[in-house]
Structure 1
């Protein structure tokens, strides 16, 4: 693919799985530029996603649309052969009340009806016709714990099944292959790349205004290739006939401005 040179949860009954609704400055390692979204009201929540006492990625969550705006993460060396887990999908207690514990749990464990006001729950996806589409994909995670950490509904959006299992999954696999082959590696021979995947809200909802169905999905990454910082971004409609297309950072920023009135853009 063409690159533009530019600067640029398994149920937590057995293991602690900590998530903190906080500020991105506390998990800034996942960002190229930490967006200034503090004091922007209650709709958007910054989440440093922890699992088993380690921070795994960061998510900006829209509590009104009940979907993540995006999740940011560092690519992990995926040479290990850990199988894809099938854990219980979790919710975030601190979106209900920031005084609640950091441990993720199922909505049934929390037993608080207010959980449905702040976020999606598993019942929203049942018989909806949509996949629970990961923003941080399992295939970009290495260890078992890291893979399990992606199974939180704060990291998922309603995706068209044909798109999610087809061209979107293909691009995740191809991106992984590119990063493994081309991006600069650290002293342990692990590739160094930062990625962010997001959703653009649409006009349709799951189950009468419960969870917004994104109209489009986008993804971007940056790394050093041959001593040059490169960045690549693509975007696609969230439907079964969609084709991904490359998009410049300027065009992506302008697209996001149409839907959000806050500084969410994570690239300089």
Structure 2
């Protein structure tokens, strides 16, 4: 089960890069998640059973921690699965402009544009949406193939997009800190399927999920919610995903809740 914790921001940040986006972008593979701990809530990496436990990557040959750097500034951190060729989780950084990458090149350890060619079923579904980026450079840093997964087209453009817009509105209204800034913690992720692959290389997730929490200074309380969507075409237009509790999401992901707001 893949989990993604997006870091605290004003408004919100991003995902992951192995593939160079431009000359300004550096995929900085580091030795451990602690090298980019500033992007995690309480500087504590998420707990992903069998993948990342107690801050340690269990299979370092398969899972690569990346401090994503854009214009000489670290903007987010990602743990990337080089076998399934999709992000495990991301913190901090989506768009359609993939023109700056080599479309005909096949990469051994990550997805490439060629994997999505001649495909009429799946979009390049971004784990972290560009609309959540706080600056133009943060927004640009989302245009990367390692911030995407194969996502059913109408699901991506329909109910999932509706959910992202709703969460952004909620956070802009309620997630205001004592300085008057929007500040929150967002988690997004993809649950990999057991045997569905695009181009026989890139895992097609069975579901996507998202969760957020923030401390509202005005309400003097933590608020949180989560969403889950099967990675299939929407059954009808204007579909909205059901809002669920974090506990319900934990049950779906078969993870016990060991924390107060973000426990992964």
- Secondary structure (helix, strand or coil) at the match of 2:233 reads coil
Question: Aligned residue for 2:206?
Answer: 215
**Distance in 2, Cα, partners of 1:220 & 1:35:** 13
Q: Give the RMSD, CA atoms, in angstroms.
A: 2.8
Deviations 1:126-155 (A, max 9, x none): 122211111110010132211110111111
Give the match for residue 81 of structure 1: none
Structure 1 residue 191, shift from structure 2 partner: 0.3
Counterparts of residues 1-268 of structure 1 (less than 5 Å): 11-13=21-23, 16-22=24-30, 23-32=32-41, 33-35=44-46, 37=52, 38-41=56-59, 42-73=61-92, 87-88=97-98, 106-107=101-102, 116-129=107-120, 130-185=122-177, 187=179, 189-202=180-193, 203-208=195-200, 210-225=201-216, 226-241=219-234, 244-257=241-254, 267=263
Following superposition, the deviation at residue 241 of structure 1 comes to: 2.4
C-alpha distance in 2 between matches for 1:19 and 1:137: 19
Contact 1:179 / 1:191 at 8 angstroms: preserved in 2? yes
Query: Are 2:89 and 2:188, in contact at CA under 8 Å, matched by a contact in 1?
Result: yes
Q: Distance in 2 between matches of 1:89 and 1:51?
A: 18
Gaps of 5+ in 2: 1-16, 256-261
Indicate conservation of the 8 Å contact 1:72/1:194, yes or no: no
Asked if 2 retains the 8 angstrom alpha-carbon contact of 1:61 and 1:67, the reply is yes
Q: Distance in 2 between matches of 1:213 and 1:85?
A: 19
**Cα–Cα, structure 1 residues 53 and 64, in superposed 2: closer, same or farther, change >3 Å?**
same
Q: Is the 8 A contact 1:138 1:147 kept in 2?
A: yes
> 2:4: which partner in 1?
none
Measure, in 2, the Cα distance between the counterparts of 1:157 and 1:186: 36
Call closer, same or farther: CA 1:138–1:186 in 2, change over 3 Å.
farther
Partners of 2:167 and 2:205 in 1: CA distance: 22
TM-score normalized with structure 2 length: 0.74
Distance 1:190 1:50 in 2: 24
Cα separation, 1, equivalents of 2:99 and 2:223: 35
State the alpha-carbon separation in 2 of the partners of residues 146 and 184 from structure 1: 21
2:258 counterpart residue number:
none
After TM superposition, the score normalised by the length of structure 1 is 0.73
Give the secondary-structure state (helix, strand or coil) at the position aligned to 1:119: coil
The CA distance in 1 between the partners of 2:251 and 2:64, in whole Å, is: 22
1:49–1:59 contact (8 Å) kept in structure 2: yes
**Cα distance in structure 1, aligned partners of 2:35 and 2:178:** 23
Structure 1 segments of 4+ aligned residues over 6 angstroms from their partners: none
State the alpha-carbon separation in 2 of the partners of residues 89 and 58 from structure 1: 23
